[in-house]
Amino acid sequence: MNAKVLALLLALLPGPAFAQGFAGLGGSAEGFALPDPATRLTFPADHGAHPAFRIEWWYLTANLTGPEGTDYGVQWTLFRTALAPGEAPGWDSPQLWMGHAALTTPQAHFVAERLARGGIGQAGVSVAPFAAVIDDWQMLGRTGPGQDALAQLDLTAAGPGFGYDLRLTAEGPLVAQGQGGYSVKSAAGQASHYYSQPFYRVAGTLTVEGRAVPVTGQGWLDREWSSQPLAPDQTGWDWFSLHLEEGARLMAFRLRGASDYISATWIAADGTVTALPPGALRLTPGRTAQVAGRRLPVEWRLELPERGLDITTTALNPQAWMGTSVPYWEGPIRVSGSHKGRGYLEMTGYR
């Protein structure tokens, strides 16, 4: 989705030009390329960076289970933001990179952040073979010939008190969000290019305060790029990625602005995509919790009558706060009600 934590990097530039919306994502996109509904996704090229656009990310979340049935959540994100469109060699490169890694347990939430300049080799994305890296954090493709470059990934990251080393195998196809990968973000027409791989089976090892924990579970990768994905009045969003027990997946988001903009995609177990019309899904915040000095809804009700869906999501750890350069809430959730399952929730822009 959508407005994932859009280029948080822009928060490093809180000048007047960047003061719009969350993390400056409502700012103007002068000189940058704009998403075009006529553009078709092409792979593997679109797995790589799009330097003509202002912001982009490779955003992976995973719901994992340990040997005693304990639930864990893992996040690995590489953000790209451009000070100017295009690329230049060495330190003159206008591309900036930011990595976020997190590990959530029912009791604790570990976070780390990395920043890097483009152009010198400290961070970046290459397509063949696929590699997204910042410092020693890596998302490496180890795919055989004929397979999609993202079909199999090795994922590593570490920070104070935690680390992980995971293997991801896709058990379904890539999924284009919105209209063939063109995802509208506001009534005014702001949009992004957006596709996902929501079918990862995950196995590997977590390190929690020096203790190794073998885990298995499910993962979801989002790829999105844009230049001005938010309307100027939009201040934040609530975004869901759900793995339901029957094998279907649901992506849903609400952009909060002068009027809320809600969008959702139903992904059947075989990868068939249905973009739900605006208004089809009802999103209702429930119980709130005090997190990092703010009040956030950690329970939600999602209703989708046409699919007979009426579920409640509960945070595994309500304190899943990302205290990074641009702070936001991102953590694993459990699904109960008409459908069972689990997934990830991201909430931004709460004051």
Partner 1 sequence: MARAAFGALISHWLRHPLQLAMLLLGLSLATALWSGVQAINAEARASYAEAAAVLGQNRLTRIEAAAGEPISQEVFVALRRAGWPVSPVLEGSLRLGEARLRLIGIEPLTLPAPARQVDLAAGEDLAGFLRPPGLIFTSAETAARIGAGAADLPPLRRADLPPGLALTDIGVAQRLLGQPGALSHLLLDPAVPAPDPARLPPGLVLIAPEPEGDLARLTNSFHLNLTAFGLLAFAVGLFIVHSAIGLAFEQRRGVFRTLRALGLPLRALTGLLLAELLGLALIAGLVGLALGYGIAAALLPDVAATLRGLYGAEVAGSLRLRPGWALAGLGMALAGALISAGQSLWRLWNLPILAPARPREWARATGRGLRRQAVAGVGLWGAAVALWALGSGLWAGLGVLAGLLLGAAFLLPVLLAALTAGLARGARGVLGQWFWADTRQQLPGLSLALMALLLALAANIGVGTMVASFRVTFTGWLDQRLVSELYITTRDPAEAQAVQGWLAPQVSAILPIWSVEATLAGQRGRIFGVADHATYRDHWPLLAASPGVWDRVAAGEGVLVNEQLARRARLGLGAALALPGGGALPVVGVYSDYGNPEAQAMLGDAALAARVPAAPRLRFALRLNPAQAPALAAALTERFALPPEAILDQAAVKAFSLRVFERTFAVTAALNALTLGVAGLALFASLTTLAGMRLPQLAPLWAMGLRLRHLATLEAVRALALAAFVVLAAVPLGVALAWVLLAVVNVAAFGWRLPMQVFPVDWLKMAGLAGLAALAAAALPVLRLARSAPADLVKVFSNER
Q: What's the min distance (Å) between Cβ of 81 and partner 1?
A: 11
Q: Which stretch binds partner 1 (CB under 8 A): 110-118, 235-243, 272-280, 293-301?
A: 110-118
Query: 13 or 52: whose CB is closer to partner 1?
Result: 13
Q: What's the min distance (Å) between Cβ of 322 and partner 1?
A: 17
- Report angle CA 134, 347, 339 to the nearest 5 degrees: 110
Residue type, 250: L
From residue 109, alpha-carbon distances to 32, 144, 320, 329, 346 in Å are 36, 35, 6, 11, 14
Query: 191 or 326: whose CB is closer to partner 1?
Result: 326
Would you count residue 106 as binding partner 1 (CB under 8 A)?
A: no
Task: Count the neighbouring beta carbons within 10 Å of the beta carbon of residue 12.
Answer: 17
From residue 303, alpha-carbon distances to 46, 71, 94, 196, 231 in Å are 33, 25, 43, 23, 26
Q: Which stretch binds partner 1 (CB under 8 A): 22-30, 154-162, 167-175, 184-192?
A: 154-162
Query: 92 or 245: whose CB is closer to partner 1?
Result: 92
Answer yes or no: are the C-beta atoms of 105 and 63 closer than 8 Å.
no
Would you count residue 292 as binding partner 1 (CB under 8 A)?
A: no
**Nearest-angstrom CA–CA distance, 137 and 102:** 12
- Residues 24-63 vs partner 1: string with x where CB under 8 A? ----------------------------------------
- Report angle CA 21, 9, 141 to the nearest 5 degrees: 125
Q: How many CA atoms lie within 13 A of 263 on its CB side?
A: 19
Q: Which residues contact 243 (CB under 8 A, 6 or more apart)?
A: 63, 198, 218, 220, 249, 341, 342, 343
**Nearest-angstrom CA–CA distance, 189 and 96:** 27
Q: What's the min distance (Å) between Cβ of 137 and partner 1?
A: 9
Q: Which stretch binds partner 1 (CB under 8 A): 23-31, 91-99, 188-196, 229-237?
A: 91-99
Q: What share of the chain is helix, strand, coil (3-state, %, to 5)?
A: 5, 50, 40
Residue type, 54: R
Query: 124 or 257: whose CB is closer to partner 1?
Result: 124
Would you count residue 214 as binding partner 1 (CB under 8 A)?
A: no
Number of residues counted as binding partner 1 (CB under 8 A): 26
Tokens of 90: 């060495």
Residues 61-90 that bind partner 1 (CB under 8 A): 83-84, 90
**Nearest-angstrom CA–CA distance, 263 and 253:** 6
Residues 111-140 that bind partner 1 (CB under 8 A): 112, 115-117, 120-122, 133, 135-136
Among 160, 210, 279, 293, binds partner 1 (CB under 8 A): 160
Query: 41 or 115: whose CB is closer to partner 1?
Result: 115
Q: What's the min distance (Å) between Cβ of 345 and partner 1?
A: 28
Q: For binding to partner 1 (CB under 8 A), which residues are involved?
A: 12-17, 83-84, 90-92, 94, 96, 112, 115-117, 120-122, 133, 135-136, 158-160
